[in-house]
Amino acid sequence: MKYTSKNFHLHYIAQYKLLVKTDFLVDTLLVVDDNGEVIVLYSYAANEPDAEAMKLLGLPFKHVFIGLPVQSLSFIPTDVYTEEDSALYQDFLLDEYSERTHYYSIPNLGVTAIYQYDLLLYNRWRAIFPNAHFLADFQLVLGEAQSRIPLQGEILGAHFKDTQVELFVFKNGVFQFYNIFDIETLDDLYYFLLNTCQSLDLQAPVQKILVSGIHNEHSYLQALGRFAEHIEFIKIKSAFHANDESVATKLNELNLMTDYSLCV
């Protein structure tokens, strides 16, 4: 998709926000103004940015927010987490390079996340925007989910990002599980949902499943519906709008991407 509003003006670049959703298949660039109007929306194959995308990426944006996939992620209970044990926590991650490790505290859930971004993607985007704010989807997913978790019952969550699904579980209001799985087919999704339910002794169908990253007619809903009594889509907080109807529709699919700037 390529959309540029007639209200996009180069002399206002310093005031615009650039939001970037990147992974291994598709890059999406979203530019919004101070009034929340989407003035640019580009999606293109990640390994084949065209001339228009390259031109946009070369502009001097001051407010840049980039969502990156993680290559490793773990959670430590906050009540036992200490900075002095950071070397020990590296054992939970893909490699021992502590300079690549990030920490993110989620006080309401009582956990501290330790994670590493995908190295190639991080280096690529850091070279383009050295002063950008980087974030991982789990920060938004868990932040948005908290207000939707009841004190009683079992809740599943599924956040989709191209060929990955991030599954999470709450039991009686307590955070239990978060993991990222590679999926190619509906059968893959069935497998990981079933395995998660069995591993955590969930009584499917659970009370509800929270969903983000896909539209409300996606084929994956067929699988999700078999594991929950109710499907609830996580709605975005940012009041973005567009004059183009197709762009407005796309915003619903991009979902949490539009809240990137709220997470920093």
State phi, psi for 123 to the nearest 5 degrees. Answer: -65, -40
Please say whether the beta carbons of 67 and 20 come within 8 A: yes
What does the pLDDT look like over 129-144, one tens digit per residue?
Answer: 999 999 999 999 998 8
Q: What angle do CA 48, 134, 161 make, to 5 degrees?
A: 55
3-state secondary structure of 130: coil
Q: Lowest mean pLDDT: which of 30-44, 86-100, 112-126, 216-230?
A: 86-100
Two structure tokens written together for 216: 């409300």
From the candidate CATH numbers 3.40.47.10, 1.10.10.10, 2.60.40.10, 3.30.420.260, the one assigned to the domain spanning 149-233: 3.30.420.260
What does the pLDDT look like over 158-197, one tens digit per residue?
Answer: 999 888 999 999 999 999 999 999 999 999 999 999 999 9
Range(s) of the chain covered by CATH 3.30.420.260: 149-233
Between strands 208-212 and 174-182, the pairing is: unpaired
**The whole model's pTM is what?**
0.88
Q: How many residues does the chain have?
A: 264
- Is the omega angle on the peptide bond into residue 205 within 30 degrees of 0, that is, cis? yes
